[in-house]
Every structure is written in structure tokens, then in C-alpha cells.
Amino acid sequence: MTSFLSEDFLLSNDVARRLYHEHAAPQPIFDYHCHLPPKDLAENRQFADLFEIWLEGDHYKWRAMRANGIPEKYITGHAAPYEKFLAWARTVPYTLRNPVYHWSHLELQRYFGINDLLDENSAPKIWERANAALASLTVHEILKKFHVQVICTTDDPVDDLRHHQAIAKSSLPTRVFPAFRPDKALNVGQPEFVSWTAGLAKAANVDIRNLSTFLDAIRKRHDDFHATGCRLSDHGLDHCFATPCSDQIAAAIFVKGQQGKPVTNEERTQFASFMMLFFARLDAERGWTKQLHLGARRNVNSAAQRRIGADAGYDTVGDFPQIASLSAYLDILSRENTLPRMILYNVNPSDTFSFATLIGCFQGGDQPGKIQYGSGWWFLDQKEGITAQINALSNVGLLSRFVGMVTDSRSFMSYPRHEYFRRVLCDIVGQDVSRGELPNDDRLLGRLIQDICYRNAKEYFRLPISV
Amino acid sequence: MTSFLSEDFLLSNDVARRLYHEHAAPQPIFDYHCHLPPKDLAENRQFADLFEIWLEGDHYKWRAMRANGIPEKYITGHAAPYEKFLAWARTVPYTLRNPVYHWSHLELQRYFGINDLLDENSAPKIWERANAALASLTVHEILKKFHVQVICTTDDPVDDLRHHQAIAKSSLPTRVFPAFRPDKALNVGQPEFVSWTAGLAKAANVDIRNLSTFLDAIRKRHDDFHATGCRLSDHGLDHCFATPCSDQIAAAIFVKGQQGKPVTNEERTQFASFMMLFFARLDAERGWTKQLHLGARRNVNSAAQRRIGADAGYDTVGDFPQIASLSAYLDILSRENTLPRMILYNVNPSDTFSFATLIGCFQGGDQPGKIQYGSGWWFLDQKEGITAQINALSNVGLLSRFVGMVTDSRSFMSYPRHEYFRRVLCDIVGQDVSRGELPNDDRLLGRLIQDICYRNAKEYFRLPISV
Amino acid sequence: MTSFLSEDFLLSNDVARRLYHEHAAPQPIFDYHCHLPPKDLAENRQFADLFEIWLEGDHYKWRAMRANGIPEKYITGHAAPYEKFLAWARTVPYTLRNPVYHWSHLELQRYFGINDLLDENSAPKIWERANAALASLTVHEILKKFHVQVICTTDDPVDDLRHHQAIAKSSLPTRVFPAFRPDKALNVGQPEFVSWTAGLAKAANVDIRNLSTFLDAIRKRHDDFHATGCRLSDHGLDHCFATPCSDQIAAAIFVKGQQGKPVTNEERTQFASFMMLFFARLDAERGWTKQLHLGARRNVNSAAQRRIGADAGYDTVGDFPQIASLSAYLDILSRENTLPRMILYNVNPSDTFSFATLIGCFQGGDQPGKIQYGSGWWFLDQKEGITAQINALSNVGLLSRFVGMVTDSRSFMSYPRHEYFRRVLCDIVGQDVSRGELPNDDRLLGRLIQDICYRNAKEYFRLPISV
């Protein structure tokens, strides 16, 4: 019987404990995908209170509060920060078995040394203690505290990167890089596409008159990102696109979109397919790694979206067919020899095994683990999802070559998710050993753990760092 | 090593045992969804023998017997009851690891105090002992024995509810209510639709001449059901429907159907979409809870259906896309503010996680757990399915707000399924505690167990009872 | 703590160990589905070295090596056998948790008595020892060593079966039969279809002028296979086909295909549907068992296929809808009373439960387990996949009637996969007993294990043997 969130949390035997404490815990954090605001990093943001750092932007907590019957006023509405915190505190005891129950208490422990369970009664003291600690816990202090060596944020090509430039000039020892996320470049025919293109033109200083100049502008921003140290791109898509589309057709669709004429779904798919190939070629040329985050169905509650906006906890897991278009996309790139290193993430666990298997068809060259099956993502970012990802990759690929976990978070309070992942990983391996399914060989297993927690990522991404 | 079906069946540690025996077992049964015949309840049916109560209508057992090579004569055919019982007894040893092996022996224990394993040799004695016990074990005695506080049956809008009225007037302490299941109202264009509509006209005493009067008649029955205490509706669908369909189009399709003209698949989908919105609005107005049972593919063996009829064990698990239409349906209702409390059940485990996640997009207001992810259903009504449902809901929602298990059964022998569910639930929580993943706090965990086993359902459904 | 690959590998308690050692291990191997070359069996092939028997044709190992960044030269290219073996040895330590890590070491132990872990350092000695052992380990010796009683290979209808005839005349005690795999008969409209039809005409000695003579030729080969002892057919398909197609339409499509005219996708589906019914009727007439291997997406990397060929490790797991066409296919056959015994295999674990459930709708007659849910196949041929298959079948069918495992292998080194399966099976049952979920009754459980490991297959397939 292990006590809740003890030192050996999630570690069920001696091998697991040894692997975690000796091999996993000492590794720095290499957080190659997150949604932290570069501005906060540049300005070394300080947080007024626990609400600001913990609740202000966390849609996991918002969803839990809504499911608990908390009125929206106390979630994203006009209630005072402390009232919102109390509403959250009242909800926490109802989140038993949800990962936020673990995460929240782990965060209170690791950031503030608070070991109490959060509920309505403990809330006032916890608010006080955490707020007091936050007085000296700036963003930069947090990164130091958690040994964060690398951060890659998520940035629109339209972004001017000035915060990244400021960070690079600062004394922050953590290396911070942008990642290139051009989702909006696919949205031809949608009203925002025209204004986004205008922003792109400005950011790239290119006069966008047609598809060709549109692509020039994107390439210019890709170059600018590269110059700022960016080595990863990222796409959030329902599913991949691989419909044939010639330059001529793409150019015609682009013009229609810019002129505000209606674009059909078929044309949208063609244009998206065209652009996805273009982006892959850019990444391949520059030696970047491309990430595909596939399978979410976003903003399914349109009334809530109108009231509150996007990314407010109204996204869900789609059940799109994935493999036909995804394998066709990889195949085209492979044929033309422009397949970059790539990470495929799924959010529907029904796709776990087919994603993990697919990567095995496009490995090759001298790059170990060239195509990666990405870590448990979003709704799958919990013990069961992490375990399923590790098991699927183990069964049909090489776990040893896995580049490991990301926070994928908008919050500076999420670094314990690396600890969480590492504990789950070490326990999986430890349990295998206890059943005689792995050799009890510390050299072999220690290397495996260290590689996954840190070294594989460091070598794989080829970021412009010298550590 | 626990012995088979012992007192601590399925309970693997002390916490699990304490939670079950102290917190789960004492709760009454609140069976908000089943298929028991109201007539049997009204007439306090007595069963002639073990065949009648146990085998006569149980398609789980029929499927097992067919898979065991038993000729249909001994399943649904003309063999004598005792011969059929013997054929079942011969099959039981081949059902090891199937839930019917557990259920059957649990039922023999709990109803008749029989602890023997059923097989060909033990069959004669078991037949005798059970039949003797059945002499005094009427339907009402069974409900008393299992502390069944509430039953909601499943009723066609055409049903005249006289059995329910009789039950309400009887001295039965169990409260019995109908549930409104208008599946046949969607089947425009099918031959039975015309006769069903005629039955509806009669039951509602409404002259159905067109769509408008058809809807009047349905609303009338909805009112009548409400007056009888009904507070739940239910739909069994391949998948949800959310195709746009105006009143005019629906009216035209209805007329075509009534005139026996061919209705296209597209029109059927439009009409079903129209009706599903209509039903949700009725439920929202009246404060009912709507249930959607999604994903079964019914009557796939047409030869068997012709020979034996529907609901004879020839249904299966479909692999329909679910999320696009289901989320669109919820979205429309949410936009027009007519989203009732709702429970979504899936029968394909590949949909488990996407269903559990989707509910989180439509929570809100002051109702904790307004949209529920329903308990393991039909083919998923076993330890693995129950566990998957609990884990998915835990990971992306609030297990604490779950309204718990139903028997979903046609048989009065199925009450041990609540015990089964409760044991599985308590063991999951107990194992979490032993790994340090939950606080070992009896107050916190005891409340969780009690809420799921009874209190949540009691509060959620707002049935007209005062307990 | 069990040591790696010890005698009790995968067996976690006393019941599991007793079941395995007393009931499973003594059973002969009844390998009713594999891809071993009949020529090697006929000629009692001897292997020059460990490369030939172990690496030459094993796409599981090839995929692992590619994922490890090994250049193709050392995989399927021109490097020397020993160099390729060294490249594999370097990869093995990176395959921790992949089934090839278990299989490889189990194979070294069972074939050569080598207990060392394979890596770059141990490679030279292992190469020497294994090669020395191979001097006396011919194909026939291997079959004797592993008590292989029956082998069914996989054969094209065009095959002349002379190797099978030679084997039948030899003194080999293992009974070897062909299995009928007419995948190419569906490919109307593809260039190879015409040449395949020519080969068929020759093999059957039938002048193929139209559909009718095409079917005659196939029936002739079916008869010839039957005469050689064949009692199984097999189909590898994306998904099943059940589109209506009259004789006339099929005949017209066939002619178009033979004349090199374009055949549409719709026509290809119609023709495949027509042929699949034809094949089922042949099997039903002759009392054969039909196997459907469904859900792989083959040759997704077209560049690699051009360079290296088919079956080189570039296949993956599709996410096709399966149940509509599969259940329609079974329904048609059931209606016309031509449903043969059949085994359904899925390769996408998302289909596991829907496949396992579907078989229950088509059981019947006097044949226990007439429709089988097949063992974990291809990418699912590992502990997790085997467990999922056993659990799904247990939950919705009769595990007791399961005909058990196959190697499905192209390699004579794969017989330990039966041991692997048996250990997993015994451990599942042993763990159930320890939790009180099964009676601890050696007679009941011993029979279950023996039936699944051997007896069920022996009785089910009705091969022309007298053992």
C-alpha cells in the first residue's frame, strides 16, 4: 500500500523505483512542444495569484468545473479570481480518478510544497500559501526549478518573433525556440483567410497577389523562423490531406478565396493537400521535424464558442478515417524524397495502433526513429493514454527510439507532467522486469529510460544548441 | 487466492472489500433502464420453473448455446422446458470466461442459495431446488429481496399504460415508471410505419392526417407518459441523426410515407433528424432525461429473423461513424437552448473514448453531470466493458457525477448485475488506493461509491418520488 | 521476480504454471495457417547459416532495423549475410518491449540452446554456435523437435501442388496440406489479372474464354486441392465485399478485364463480391473452412515497393469500415444455406470487439464454434494482441470452442510462437483463478487449455488425417 502522491507515486516495485530515481528524475526537461506565450517568457512574467498561473487558461479545469455544475460565471466569466479559485476548490474532490486530480496535487506539491488535499475547507490556506510563494516564483525561476533546458513554443507564421528575439538576447539559460504552425494557411474560402493573408504579407514584407507570391511569403517566414532557431513545424488537423491538386488548380482556388468567392469542400481539400506537400518540402529542405496532431474535432459547441471563443474547452475527439490520407501523404513525400523527420500524434485511442504501425512503413536512411509515433496527446495525456502509446509503439516499433513527452501546455504549472510521464514509463518497464519479460539489466534499462526522457529528443531535433 | 464467487468475488484488496461491503452493498437498487414487462409487474407474475424465469427470453444464453452447437430446437424451438434447461446446463461449462458464467452462478446463489456449478450432472438437482424456491418467489418478492426502489421500463408511445396504472395503484413498494421509446416514429417509408401511426392515433385519440397532427399525437402521449410518472425517454439508433430538414420537407416526407410511396434513404435520414429534434424539445420542456443507445447493428441474420423474429440474439456491434452527427445534434439543441439532460451509451468499445470526451463539451448550467456517459451496455455489460466505461469517464469527465448502472434486462433474474457492477467499481477504486493513486480516505471514497451506486441517480432523474 | 525468459516466462502464478506445464506444453502443434514454402518442406531444406533461416525473409526484423536507422543495404540489400546478421544484432538491444525481442531470444534458446542476450558483442559467438547447430537441423528435424503434427501452407490456385505431392509421398510424419488462397482471382482490371488467368487456365487445363469457363477452372483447382488434402481456403482483403452483382454483370466485367478495358472501382467491387460468394459456395459444398484476413492496407510505401517488392515490410493497419459488408456477406450465405465454417481475423484492434461479436450472429447447426474469431494476427501477434483476442472472444463468445493459434509465418524459426501463445493463455486463466473469477478446477480448466491448444483444431478442420 503506497500512500497518495508519495515519493514512489506510480512506482509499484523496486526496479521501477530505481529506474525513476536514478535514471529518469535527474534528466533535464526538453519540452519540444508547448503553447506557452513567448511574451511571458520574454518578460519573465510574475503571477499575481494562484488563479492567474493556474486557472486563467486551463481548459481541462474548466471542463471539470462545467461537468460539476459550476456556473460559467465562475469559470470564464466575471467572478473575482478568488471566487473562481473557490469554485475550483469545490470541484476538486469530484475529480477523483481524473488526471487533474493528480496533476493539481502534484503541482501544489512541486511548486509550493503544499501537501494538503484541495477542497473548499483547505482552499483559503492554500490560496494564501501559494500566492506568497508566487511572489518570488517568476517564469524564469520556474524554468530553473524544473531544469527546463529547451522549450519550443507554437507560433503563427504571421508572428513577428520579437519576443523570441528578446528571449534569445536575455540571460535565460533555458533555450527557447518558436515552432512554425501554419494552420491558417489551409483555410482558403473562410473569411479570416483573407485577413490572415494580409498579415502574412506584412510579416514577410511580400506583396501577395497570387498563389506564387503567397508561397513566397510563407517561405520567407519559414526562413525567418529558421534564423530564430526554429526546427519544428506543427499542424493541427482533423485528418491529413492527400488529394491530388496541380499548381494551376491550387492557384485558381487561391484566387477564388482571395476574391471572396465560394470555395467548395472539395476545393478546400485540394488546396489543403497542396499546401501540406509544400510545407513538408520546406521542412525537408531545412532539416526540420514536422508534427501532425490529428483527429480532434474542434469547437463542437457553437453557442459556447460564440460566447467564450475558441480553445475554451469545447473541443472533442473525432472519429475520422485517418489512414488512407495519412499514408498517401507520407507515400507522396517518400516518392519524391522530401519526407522530413515527422511525428504523428493521434487523439482518438482507436487510432493508436494504426498510427503506431504506419510509422514503420516510412522509416529509413540513417536516421533512427525517423518517423515517430508521438506521445499521448491532449485528452490522452493521462496514465492510460500514456500507457497505450508506449505499449503500441513497443509492440510495432522501437520504444528505444522514442523522443518522449511534451507538456503541450498553455500553463507554466505543467512541468510535473514530465515527472508523471517518467513515472508511468518507469513503472511499465519495472513491471515487465518483475514478470520476467525484460532482462533485469540496469545498463540496458537505464539507457532506455534516459534516452526516452532526454537524449533521444536532444539528438533528434537538431536544434541550434550546444549542450 | 480467492475462491470462485466467494463473498469477496472481484474484490482484490482490503479497501475494495471495505468499500463494497460498507458503502456499495447497502444501497437500494435504482434501475432506471430495463426491459421488464409491465404486465409481469402488474400481475405479480409467478414462474412455473427455472426455464420460464431464466431461459425463456435471454438472448445472451441463446447465443452461447448456438455457439456451442446446440440445435435451435433446444433454444427457441419446440423442445420441452426441461430439455432446454438441460441443453443450457450442458453449455454452461463451455462458457468459462463469458459473463454468463458469472451471472448464471451468481443468480443461482442469490435467488436460490445454490452454490453448485451448473453442468449436465448437477442440472437435475438444481432444476428441482430452483423450481421449489420459485413457488414462493413472485416478481414482487424478488423486488423486495433485492431492495429495488425504482424501476423504469421501456414502452412504446402506442402503449396504453394500463399495466403501469395498475402497478401505481397496487401496494408494491418499488416505484415503477414507464420510459418513452418512440423508435418506430422514425421509420417513415417502412411498411410498419403506417400501422404504427394508426395505433398512435388510437392511443392518443388524435386524428392523424399530416405531420402536424402526427406530432400532436406524439405530444399527447408524451403528456400521458408524464402523467404516469415517466421522466425518461430512450432511443435505440445505429447512429444519431442531424441532417437539416425543414418543417415543410418533413411534412412532405411524412405524406409520402403514409401514402405508401417510396421514401429514399436521404429522406429517411432527414425525417429522423427532424423527429429527433422534436423529441429532444419535448423532453427539455418537461424536464425529462433523454437516453441515446447508439451503435448496434440489428437483425444482421435475416434468415434467423424470419424464422425466429427480432431480439432473438442476432444483433451485433456496428462500426458506424458516430461523432459528426452526434455532436451536431447536441450542438443544435444547445444553440436553441432545448438540450435536455441526456445519457449517451455506445456499444462499440472503439467509441468509448470519443463518447466520454464529447459529453464534456455540453455540460453546463447548474446541473452536475448534465450530459452523462452511460454505463457499459449490452455486449459491453461485463467486467471489461464496465471497467472501460469507468476509466474513460474518469479520464475525461467526472466519475463522481455518474448516475451508475442499469440492468437493461428482460429478466427478473438480472438484479445481481448491480452487485457485479458495484464489485467492479469498488475494486477499481481499491486498486487505485493500493497504488497510491487515490487518497485512502474513507469519507471521500465512501461518498463516491454511494453516489454512483444510488444517490446520483436518485437526484438526477427527478422522478416523482419522495424517498 | 521471475528472471527473463525463465521456465516460467509469462506465468505469474501456480495455476498458470500448472496449466502450462501439465496441459499446454505437451500438446502437439497443429499449425493450420502459415506461409512456409512447400518446396523447403519437400526438399527438407538445410540452412547455410543463421541469416538464411532467421533474417532472409522476416519483415518483422526488417521493420525493426529500418526504425533503428540501419541502411537498407544491410536489410534486404547486397551486404553479406554475416554483415546483415551483425546489423540485426546491433538492433536487438533497441527492440526491448517489441515482441521480436522475446521471439528472438526464445528462438535462440529453443532451437540452439543459446541463453545469451543478442547484441553486437555476443553476435560472433552466437553466429558460430547457431550455424554449427544448423548443420544437423534440417526442416524435418525442426518439425520433429517441435512436435508439429499438421501444417497448412498458403497456396495460389495456380500452383501445381507438386511439392505437396512430394511431401505426401515422403516419410515426413508431419502432415502437410495446401490451403487455397485465390486473392488474385478478385483483381479484375489489374494488369496481372490477365496473366494470372492464363496461369490458371494452364494449371486447370481449362480453356478460359469467359466467366463461366473461368469459374470452371477455379472449381477444377478447388477439386485438385481437395484431392491433395486441402480443407481450408483463405482470403486477404482490405474488407469484405457484398455488393449485389448478377451473373450477367460479373460476366461483362470479366470480359472487360480480359480485354484490357478499364474497370471502375465499383465494377471491381461488384466482381469481388460475386467471386467471394462463389468461393464460399465451393467451400460449403466440400466442407472446407474459409478464412478471412481483413483490414491490412498493403504496400503503402510505393517507392519501397518498386525498389524491394511486395511483402517487404511496407504494409500497415487500415481503418476501413468492416461490419456492413462482412455481416452482409455472412447473411447472404446464411440465407442460401451455403455458409461454410469460417474464421474471421482482424488486424486493426479497433475491430476486435465488433468481429468477436459478429460471429455470434451466425453460429448454429450441430457445429460447435462454427464461425470462429481468429487468433491475434500479424501486427497483433503479440501478448497484448493475443490477450485482446482471448478477452473479446471470452466476453461475447465461447473461448472454450476456439481453434487456437497459428504461426502465420514464413520462417521455420517461428514455432515458439505457439509456446508464447500458450503461456499467455495459461496466464490469463491462472490470473482469473487467483482473483476468484474462475473455479480452481483442474479438470475443467485443463480441458479448456488442451482444447484450445490442440483438440478443437483437430476436430474442427476435418483434415484427412487419422490421429
DSSP code string of B249-307: HHHHHHHHHHTT----HHHHHHHHHHHHHHHHHHHHHHT-EEEEEE-EE----HHHHHH
User: Average pLDDT in the C431-443 region?
Assistant: 95
Counting every residue, how long is chain B? 467
Chain A residues touching B391 at Cβ < 8 A = 384
Contact A354 C319 (CB under 8 A): yes
> Which residues in chain A land under pLDDT 50?
none
Counting every residue, how long is chain C? 467
Query: What span, in angstroms and rounded, lies between the C-alpha atoms of B313 and B296?
Result: 12
* Angle, CA of A170, A174 and A175, to the nearest 5°: 80
Half-sphere exposure of B157 (CA within 13 A, CB side): 29
Residue in chain A closest to C7 (alpha carbons) equals: A436
- Interface check for C115 against chain A (CB to CB < 8 A): the answer is no
Query: What span, in angstroms and rounded, lies between the C-alpha atoms of B450 and A335?
Result: 60
| Residue B79 confidence (pLDDT) above 80 | yes
User: Average pLDDT in the C406-425 region?
Assistant: 97
What are chain C's partners, defined as 3 or more CB pairs within 8 angstroms? Answer: A, B
Q: Residue C366's pLDDT is what?
A: 85
Q: Which of B301, B351, B383 to mutate to test the interface with C (most CBs of C within 10 A)?
A: B301
| Cβ B448 vs Cβ B439: under 8 Å | no
Q: For the residues of B182-226, what is the DSSP string, one character each? A: -GGGG-TTSHHHHHHHHHHHHHHT----SHHHHHHHHHHHHHHHH
Q: Which helix or strand (DSSP H or E) is residue C296 part of? A: strand C296-297
User: Average pLDDT in the C394-410 region?
Assistant: 97
Task: Report which of A155, A109, A164 is spatially closest to residue A415, judged by C-alpha positions.
Answer: A109
Q: At what angle do helices A59-67 and A99-112 cross, to 10 degrees?
A: 130
Smallest Cβ–Cβ distance between C94 and the set A367, A400, A432 belongs to A400
pLDDT, tens digit, 9 for 90 and up, residues C101-145:
999 999 999 999 999 999 999 999 999 999 999 999 999 999 999
What are A283's three cell numbers? 521542412
Q: Residue C457's pLDDT is what?
A: 98
Residue in chain A closest to B334 (alpha carbons) equals: A303
| Residue B466 confidence (pLDDT) above 80 | no
- Which residues share a beta bridge with A29? A148
Q: Residue C397's pLDDT is what?
A: 98
pLDDT, tens digit, 9 for 90 and up, residues A267-310:
999 999 999 999 999 999 999 999 999 999 999 999 999 999 98
Smallest Cβ–Cβ distance between C357 and the set B6, B95, B379 belongs to B379
Chain B residues touching C351 at Cβ < 8 A = 319, 350
Q: Residue A446's pLDDT is what?
A: 98
Q: Residue B192's pLDDT is what?
A: 92
Amino acid at B366: D
Q: Residue A33's pLDDT is what?
A: 98
Contacts of B21 (CB under 8 A, 6+ apart): none
3-class DSSP assignment, residue A280:
helix
- Interface check for B88 against chain C (CB to CB < 8 A): the answer is no
Task: Please tell me the distance in Å from A55's CA to the nearest CA on chain B.
Answer: 18
Tell how far CA A317 is from the center of its chain. Answer: 16
Smallest Cβ–Cβ distance between A384 and the set B357, B391, B398 belongs to B391
Residue for cell digits 483434415? Answer: C463
Task: Report which of B164, B291, B148 is spatially closest to residue B225, judged by C-alpha positions.
Answer: B164
Chain C residues touching A369 at Cβ < 8 A = 67-69
User: Quick one: what percent of chain C has pLDDT higher than 70?
Assistant: 100
| Cβ C343 vs Cβ C367: under 8 Å | no
| Cβ B448 vs Cβ B429: under 8 Å | yes
Residue A83 φ/ψ, nearest 5 degrees: -60, -40
pLDDT, tens digit, 9 for 90 and up, residues B94-139:
999 999 999 999 999 999 999 999 999 999 999 999 999 999 999 9
Contacts of B237 (CB under 8 A, 6+ apart): B183, B186, B272, B292, B293, B294
Contact A297 B327 (CB under 8 A): yes
| Cβ B142 vs Cβ B47: under 8 Å | no
In chain B, positions 378-407, which contact chain A (CB-CB < 8 Å)? 391, 394-401
Q: Which of A3, A13, A94 to mutate to test the interface with B (most CBs of B within 10 A)?
A: A94
Residue in chain B closest to A420 (alpha carbons) equals: B437
What are C240's three cell numbers? 469484405
Mean pLDDT of chain C: 97
Q: Residue C2's pLDDT is what?
A: 76
Contact C96 A438 (CB under 8 A): yes
3-class DSSP assignment, residue B467:
coil
What are A64's three cell numbers? 471539470
Cβ pairs A/B, distance under 8 A: 149
Task: Report which of B433, B382, B386, B395 is spatially closest to residue B17, judged by C-alpha positions.
Answer: B433
Chain A residues touching B434 at Cβ < 8 A = 1-2
Cβ pairs A/C, distance under 8 A: 151
- Interface check for A317 against chain C (CB to CB < 8 A): the answer is no
Residue for cell digits 533528434? Answer: A460
Task: Please tell me the distance in Å from C98's CA to the nearest CA on chain A.
Answer: 5
In chain B, positions 47-76, which contact chain C (CB-CB < 8 Å)? 63-64, 66-69, 71-72
Query: What span, in angstroms and rounded, lies between the C-alpha atoms of A426 and A50?
Result: 31
Q: Which helix or strand (DSSP H or E) is residue C290 part of? A: strand C289-294
Number of other CB atoms surrounding residue C28 within 10 Å: 16
Number of other CB atoms surrounding residue A338 within 10 Å: 15
| Residue B467 confidence (pLDDT) above 60 | no
Contact B319 C359 (CB under 8 A): no
Contact C317 A353 (CB under 8 A): yes
Task: Please tell me the distance in Å from C333's CA to the nearest CA on chain B.
Answer: 10
Contact B301 C370 (CB under 8 A): no
Chain B residues touching A64 at Cβ < 8 A = 398
Q: Residue A191's pLDDT is what?
A: 87
Q: Which of B366, B387, B435 to mutate to test the interface with A (most CBs of A within 10 A)?
A: B435
Tell how far CA A355 is from the center of its chain. Answer: 17
Q: For the residues of C107-118, what is the DSSP string, one character each? A: HHHHHH---SPP
According to DSSP, residue C148 is labeled E
Contact B382 C395 (CB under 8 A): yes
Query: What span, in angstroms and rounded, lies between the C-alpha atoms of A112 and A105?
Result: 10
Q: Which of C2, C3, C4 to mutate to test the interface with A (most CBs of A within 10 A)?
A: C4
> Would you say the ipTM is above 0.90?
yes
Tell how far CA A74 is from the center of its chain. Answer: 27
Contact A68 B367 (CB under 8 A): no
Q: Is the pTM of this model over 0.95?
A: yes
According to DSSP, residue C364 is labeled B
| Cβ A425 vs Cβ A365: under 8 Å | no
Q: Residue A25's pLDDT is what?
A: 98
Q: Which of C2, C3, C59, C96 to mutate to test the interface with A (most CBs of A within 10 A)?
A: C96
In chain C, positions 329-348, which contact chain A (CB-CB < 8 Å)? 348
Question: Cα separations (Å) of C321 from A149, A414, B242, B298, C239?
Answer: 45, 38, 21, 17, 8
Burial B370-379 (b: 16+ CB within 10 A, else e): bbbbbbbbbb
Task: Report which of C242, C237, C239 is spatially closest to residue C328, judged by C-alpha positions.
Answer: C242
Contact C324 B297 (CB under 8 A): yes
- Interface check for C361 against chain B (CB to CB < 8 A): the answer is yes
- Interface check for C315 against chain A (CB to CB < 8 A): the answer is yes
What are chain A's partners, defined as 3 or more CB pairs within 8 angstroms? Answer: B, C
Torsion of CA A385, A391, A394, A397, to 10 degrees: -60
Residue B367 CB-density burial (10 A; 0-12 exposed, 13-18 middle, 19+ buried)? middle
Question: Cα separations (Å) of C290 from B166, B320, C33, C282?
Answer: 55, 26, 11, 10
| Cβ B201 vs Cβ B218: under 8 Å | no
- Interface check for B141 against chain A (CB to CB < 8 A): the answer is no
Query: What span, in angstroms and rounded, lies between the C-alpha atoms of B377 and C462?
Result: 38
Give C3's pLDDT tier (boundaries 50, 70, 90): confident
Query: What span, in angstroms and rounded, lies between the C-alpha atoms of A341 and A232?
Result: 10
Residue in chain B closest to A115 (alpha carbons) equals: B439
Longest dimension (CA), chain A: 68
Number of helical (H) and strand (E) elements in chain B, helices listed first: 20, 9
Question: Cα separations (Å) of A319 from A109, A449, B321, B396?
Answer: 37, 33, 6, 16
Q: Which of B97, B265, B311, B354 to mutate to test the interface with C (most CBs of C within 10 A)?
A: B97
Number of other CB atoms surrounding residue A353 within 10 Å: 29
Mean pLDDT of chain B: 97
- Interface check for B173 against chain C (CB to CB < 8 A): the answer is no
